[in-house]
Structure 1
Amino acid sequence: MPTLDLYYMPSPGASRAVIMTAKAVGVDLNKKVVDVMAREHLKPEFIKINPQHTIPTLVDNGFVLWESRAILIYLVEKYGKDDSLYPKDPQQLWSINASSSIWAHSARAMCATTIRNYLTMSRSRQIPKPSRRSMRPLGSSTPFCRDSNKRH
């Protein structure tokens, strides 16, 4: 198996999913930490690799990929031994794609809420209480984080 370059952040989330998937399909990664706080993702040498300057970014023999879900699918389709990680059956595939889309949108909404709350807190010096709406996945009336024993 080849060794691919992965530009990543060592936090849980999108980069971790790429690392775990690469391991599952037997691909070795040359991991290169990108310090977003130091704005390394905006440096000319990184923008030359990925003009979108997003993390994670994977380079497979000169082919550059970004967007973690697209990277996961690429790894499984190119290096997977069979379709056990990403099925070919359209109905099973729909279930996976629908679930990953819901979680991605929910995570994005929660990140936006967290950033908004941080900015509000930094101005007012008070920690704002999250609203019920901010705890729901987009397009859902069910809270994203909830006590499973409590009816909403």
Structure 2
Amino acid sequence: MTMKLYAVSDGPPSLAVRMVLHALNIPYELVSIDFIAGQHMTDEYAKMNPQKEIPVLDDDGFYLPESVAIMQYLCDKYSPTSKLYPREATQRAIVNHRMCFNMGFYYSAISAHSMAPIFFDYQRTDMSLKKVNNALNVFETYLQEGGTKYAAADFLTIADFALVSATLCLEAIGFDLSNYPLVQKWYETFKKENPELWEIAKSGMLEIAEFEKNPPDLSHMNHPFHPTRKPKV
């Protein structure tokens, strides 16, 4: 049975998982979820992921949500010796930390400032901008203290996929990274040295950029955890 990934085309967590699948050369079927149509809110989708969030991996009937867990699983099962998720304890701990940092601190701040105002009834504020700058400042510190080429090592790891997918949201809304030279250098290095992976990420970034210019009308959606986006007049 072909592995399936239920994903949204411009969702950073979905993009991160797609990059891992490509990097590990794992064949899979991409099942596009229409977020605007609310396909992730159906009872059928909830059977795969009660959280009704995207993405979800279906590996021969084994359903796994949460992008970080999916990336770790793919490496552990299909390429256990891959440097993308090193097995040495200290190296793996740093990779795990960077992914936790992204999920709980970095992407959460970026998403609230970039994505939420597009897809939900939130506003960009001085406070949301302050949180983004704080997150970038912390990432800058990690890159400086680590002294590594990539986010967790001198080689590419799955932590980079997660962090790149978050950072592209800022590029999509025209955010200037020049105040964070190490973050900017890391981001541009990823693009330059991993063009096939960046093509996957770039496709999502361009979609977000288009939505930034022309926000979708999601007033028909009924999401239990977020207010519904009001159409612009």
TM, length-normalised to structure 1:
0.78
Shift of the 97–133 alpha-carbon distance from structure 1 to 2, 3 Å rule, reads: same
Show CA shifts across 1:53-74 (max 9, x none): 1101001111100100100000
In the alignment, the residues of structure 1 paired with residue 139 and residue 71 of structure 2 have an alpha-carbon distance, to the nearest angstrom, of 29
The letter of the residue matching 1:148 is Y
Match of 1:147 in 2: 179
Match of 1:24 in 2: 23
Structure 1: which amino acid aligns with 2:10? S
Matched residue pairs, number? Answer: 143
Matches within 5 A, 1:49-60: 49-60=48-59
Say if 1:80 and 1:112 are closer, same or farther in 2 by CA, change over 3 A.
Answer: same
Q: Residue in 2 aligned with 1:137?
A: 135
After the TM superposition, which segments of 4 or more aligned residues of structure 1 sit over 4 Å from their partners? 127-132, 140-146
| Greater relative contact order structure (CA < 8 Å, 6+ sep) | 2
- C-alpha distance in 2, partners of 1:77/1:65? 14
- For 1:141 and 1:32, how far apart are their aligned partners in 2? 33
Amino acid at match of 2:29: N
Listed one character per residue, the Cα deviations across residues 106-141 of structure 1 (whole Å, up to 9, x for unaligned) are: 1112223443797465xxxxx644565322129x59
User: Which structure has more strand as a fraction of its residues?
Assistant: 1
Q: Is 1:35–2:67 an aligned residue pair?
A: no
Q: What per-residue deviation string (whole Å, max 9, x for no partner) do you get for residues 68-101 of structure 1? A: 0100000000001523221111111111111122
Letter in structure 2 aligned against 1:44: D
Pairwise mapping of residues 1-152 of structure 1 onto structure 2 (< 5 A)? 3-11=2-10, 13-80=12-79, 82-104=81-103, 105-114=105-114, 115=116, 119=121, 121=123, 128-129=125-126, 133-135=130-132, 136-137=134-135, 140=138, 147-148=179-180
Amino acid at match of 1:137: A
Query: Unaligned regions of 5+ residues in structure 2, if any?
Result: 142-166, 168-176, 182-233
- Kindly report the root-mean-square deviation, in angstroms, between the aligned alpha carbons of the 2 structures: 3.0
Worse-superposed segment, 10-19 or 73-82: 10-19
Shift in alpha-carbon separation, 1:48–1:132, aligned structure 2, 3 A: closer
Higher helix share: 2
Task: Give me the whole-angstrom Cα distance separating, in 2, the residues matched to 1:17 and 1:88.
Answer: 20
Larger Rg: 1
Give the counterpart letter for 2:9 in structure 1: P
Q: 1:109 to 1:128 in 2, by over 3 A?
A: closer
Identity score, percent: 28
**Aligned partners of 2:80 and 2:98: how far apart in 1?**
23
Question: Normalising by structure 2, what TM-score?
Answer: 0.53
Matches of 1:63 and 1:96 in 2, distance apart?
25
Q: Distance in 1 between matches of 2:31 and 2:139?
A: 40
Structure-1 separation of matches of 2:45 and 2:106: 28
AA partner of residue 108 (structure 2)? R
